[in-house]
Amino acid sequence: MTDLLPITLLSLQVSILATLISLLIGLPLGTMLALGKFPGRSFLLSLINTGMALPPVVVGLFVAMSLWRSGPLGDLRLIYTPAAIIIAQTIIAAPVVTGLTAAALQQLNPRLRLQLYGLGASRVQMVLSLWREARLPLLAALMAGFGSVISEVGASMMVGGNIKGQTRVLTTAIVLETGKGEFERAIALSIFLLTITFLVNWALTVIQQRGRP
Amino acid sequence: MTALIEVRDLLVRREKQTVLEIAHLSVEAGEVLAVVGPNGAGKSTLFLTLARLLKHERGVIRFFNGHESISTLEYRRRIALVLQEPLLLDASVRENAAIGLRFRGTPKAEADRRVAHWLERLGVAHLAERSARKLSGGESQRVSLARAFVLEPELLLLDEPFTALDSPTRARLLEDLKAVLGETGTTTIFITHDLREAEKLGTRMAVMLKGRVHQVGKPREVFAHPADSQVAEFLGMQM
């Protein structure tokens, strides 16, 4: 069990980074989809909503094909590296964060925007105020994004390769140990995975619920 | 008297339909213009257009003595608006009252002073630290008014701010608002479908029907001498 700590740390590192990148993509994109008026908006929203249900193995397949030595991005030599897992997980989490961000902002009273503008808000101040107002569902979006990647195994296995000491994360290690019949190790890893998932979500929930009546 | 706002030849269309067509309307500095009309008369469209929240297709709106070139943001930072729903943010009463000042980058000490004064003046100072979500309808609208008055606006736009309130609350708030407007001399455009409110608050009254202004005058004059049969019918229906 000496390798448990590096596996756990890598899992956390990869999934937190993928979630943060998804947030950087999803928050502005979701905001644009919720507040903007442009041709193709509904179509884009449908695509994002479909993307929320993207099977990780399908993402894994396309990322693996792209990063494969002979693939279009093969020269980057990223296949079977933690970076490849981050890319795949970002593709999985970004639609989740984007879709839930759009839904969170669309739930706000549309006249609130008029009121904020009427109070002298610039466009940036208006958006920041709406984000603050929707902070509870936005944090839920962040939690859902993190949950979708910390628990996925297919893409991590396909693009990371489950290489010991390099790309082995908790989920791929659980698959490996179960395959070997090492159920005790698999259970220990599962408990670890559940614990860190709980701790991260607990921290986010505390932030989310702070100041609530 | 100087016209603070002057509208000429204004045309607003929505979904290819003309919803507002005003040949001329002006608001003098310090007056309270009550804009009355039935539902669908174009009052709220006029309100949004004057707040520069809705674009007009044709016409000229001269703000602040002809300074037409003023940017939309700068313009909005010289006015204040109060809507039918208070639309307070999920924050304390104090934070809500201060938000417009925060947008303008007003120094904290000055913002605190103004917020304290206006919460007190509108009778909600004791609620300053309370969550805006826990207020009654009347309290929320008082906070909404305080949020507008702290800005010390050159023009105050009110869009049916009392409609959602019960009768006693509405009467008290109307009384307080009349007193505050008397003290501050804030130029105000007050949109309402209630003729009693218009008569009580307005120094002048504009009757709007089907997107057009049919008559402008002192409330007493309008009631005594309706400009046409449609105005007479509207006034008759209401009184």
- Whose CA is closest to B8, among B63, B45, B53? B63
Q: Which of B47, B70, B84, B90 to probe by mutation at the A interface, max A CB count within 10 Å? A: B90
Write the single-letter amino acid at A115: Q
Mean pLDDT, chain B, whole residue set: 92
From CA A190, how far away is CA A198, in angstroms rounded?
Answer: 12
pLDDT in the model for residue A211: 61
How many domains are contained in chain A? 1
Q: For the CA atoms of chain A, what is the radius of gyration?
A: 19
Q: How confident is the model at residue B15 (pLDDT cuts 50, 70, 90)?
A: confident
Which residues span the domain enclosing B216?
1-78+153-161+189-239
Whichever domain contains B219, its CATH number is 3.40.50.300
Does B54 contact chain A (CB < 8 Å)?
A: no
- Residue A66 C-alpha from the chain's centroid: 20
Q: Report the residue of chain A nearest B90, measured CA to CA.
A: A133
pLDDT in the model for residue A102: 97
- Whose CA is closest to B60, among B33, B32, B19, B24? B24
- Whose CA is closest to A212, among A123, A143, A157, A135? A135
From CA B165, how far away is CA B148, in angstroms rounded?
Answer: 18
Report ipTM (2 d.p.): 0.91
Interface of A with B in 125-144 (CB under 8 A): 125, 129, 132-133
* pLDDT for residue B65 is more than 60: yes
Does B74 contact chain A (CB < 8 Å)?
A: no
Residue among A111, A120, A133 minimizing CB distance to B100: A120
Mind listing the pLDDT tens digit for each residue in A152-173? 999 999 999 999 999 999 999 9
Crossing angle of the two packed helices A183-209 and A170-179, in degrees rounded to 10: 160
pLDDT in the model for residue A88: 97
pLDDT in the model for residue B163: 84
Q: How confident is the model at residue B1 (pLDDT cuts 50, 70, 90)?
A: low
* Cβ neighbours around A191 below 10 Å, total: 10
Assigned domain for B92 exists? no
The tokens for B162 are: 């009392």
pLDDT in the model for residue B165: 86
Which residues span the domain enclosing A87?
4-209
pLDDT in the model for residue B239: 47
Residues of A in contact with B133 (CB under 8 A): 213
pLDDT in the model for residue B68: 59
Q: Report the residue of chain A nearest B74, measured CA to CA.
A: A120
Contact B48 A114 (CB under 8 A): yes
Assigned domain for B9 exists? yes
The tokens for B56 are: 């007009």
How many domains are contained in chain B? 1
Mind listing the pLDDT tens digit for each residue in B87-135? 999 999 999 999 999 999 999 999 999 999 999 999 999 999 999 999 9
Mind listing the pLDDT tens digit for each residue in B205-229? 999 999 999 999 999 999 999 999 9
Number of CB pairs, chain A paired with chain B, less than 8 A apart: 53
Residue among B81, B87, B157 minimizing CB distance to A109: B87
Q: Which of A21-35, A94-108, A181-195, B65-79 has the lowest mean pLDDT?
A: B65-79
Interface of A with B in 88-117 (CB under 8 A): 109, 111-112, 114-115, 117
Q: How confident is the model at residue B67 (pLDDT cuts 50, 70, 90)?
A: low
From CA B107, how far away is CA B126, in angstroms rounded?
Answer: 23
pLDDT in the model for residue A2: 62
Whichever domain contains A52, its CATH number is 1.10.3720.10
pLDDT in the model for residue B4: 87
Residues of A in contact with B153 (CB under 8 A): none
In order of B170, B200, B213, B239, the CA distances from B197 in angstroms are 9, 5, 18, 12
Mean pLDDT, chain A, whole residue set: 94
